[in-house]
Amino acid sequence: MGSFDWRRLSGDEIEAHYNPRCSVPDFERHFNAYVERSAAARESLGGEYDLRYGSGPLQTYDLHRPKGNATGVPLAGVPLVMLIHGGYWRGLDKNTMTFAAVPFVEAGAVVVNLNYDLCPKVSLDAIVRQMQEALVHVAQQAAGWGADAAKIHVIGHSAGAHLAAMLAAAPWPADLPPKPAIASLGLVSGVYELEPVLHVSVNAEIRLDDAMARRNSVMRFAPKLSCPVLIAVGDAEPPGWQAQSVDFHQACRDAGTPAHLLRLNGANHFTIKFAQADPTGPLGIALLRQCGLRA
C-alpha cells in the first residue's frame, strides 16, 4: 500500500486524482503556451529536425547543439540531455517540449528532443521499446555530435517521466545492443504505479490491461536504479498524483538509490513544465546541476 489509498475512492474521485486535465480546467491555455514558446525556441536555437531513430512513423527526434567556441567548432565531450514529452502516452509531441531544451543548450549541452508513436496506434509496451531503441541510437551518435556517451541525462515530464524511469530501470531487451549507461534521471510530475490508470477515462485510448499495467509499473523496478534521480512534483497537484512521486522517491531511497524529491510551490501538472525550463528557479537549477551544467 502506498501513501495514498486510491482504492477507497469513487470512479469520479479517481478521475480527479489521476487525470491531470480534470484538476486544471484551463490546461489548453498551457498547451498553447508550450507550442508558442517552443516555436520561438526553434527559431533561437536552430537545430536538425525530424531525424530518425527507428522505423515507427513517429520515431523521430530533434537535435540541438550548443554554439561551440569562438571558432565555431563544437565542444567535445559535453553532456547529452534527452527530453521525453508527456501526454499520457496518447497525446502531444516533441513540438511542445522544445522550449524546455533552451537552458540546457545555452549551458553547453547537446539536447535530443524525442518523439514516439502514441496509443492507441501502438501499445505502451511498444513505446517503452521505442525509448530503448532511442537510447541505443543516441549513445551511438553522441561522439559525432560532440557529446560524451557516458554523460547521457534523461529528463521527462508526466508520461515522459515514466518512460525515462522505465528506460533506466526496466529489463533490457536481449535483441538490442548492450544498454548504454544513463548518468541521471530528471522526473517531473510523473506516473510510476499504473494500476490506477486502469480506472481513468483516458485508458480508453491507452488500452492498458492488468498485465500491461503491472509490467510497466516502474515502481517495481526502483531497486534496479543506480544513477542519481531528481523527482519533482507540484504542490498544487491532486494528492493522488503527488503520492506517485512521493512513493517512487521512497522506493528509490529504500533501494539505496541517490534520490531527491523536490516540491514546487504553487505548481500544477502543467505549470511545472515552465518551472522545468526556468534556469533561475529551483527546478531548473537542480536539473542543470544534476547534468553537470551548473556548479
Residue given cell 508558442 in the structure block: 36
Q: State yes or no: pLDDT of 75 exceeds 90.
A: no
CA gap 238, 4 in Å, rounded? 11
Q: Provide the pLDDT for residue 47.
A: 96
- Smallest CA-to-CA distance from 100 within 266, 289, 288 is with 288
Q: State yes or no: pLDDT of 293 exceeds 90.
A: yes
Are 225 and 166 a contacting pair, CB within 8 Å? no
The whole-number average pLDDT for the span 143-165 is 97
- Smallest CA-to-CA distance from 110 within 284, 268, 292 is with 292
AA letter at 34: Y
pTM: 0.96
Mind listing the domains of the chain with CATH numbers?
A: 6-68+76-149+161-290 (3.40.50.1820)
The whole-number average pLDDT for the span 128-143 is 98
Q: What are the cell numbers at 1?
A: 500500500
Q: Over the stretch 5-58, which tens digit does the pLDDT of each residue have?
A: 999 999 999 999 999 988 888 889 999 999 999 999 999 999 999 999 999 999
Q: Over the stretch 232-257, which tens digit does the pLDDT of each residue have?
A: 999 999 999 999 999 999 999 999 99
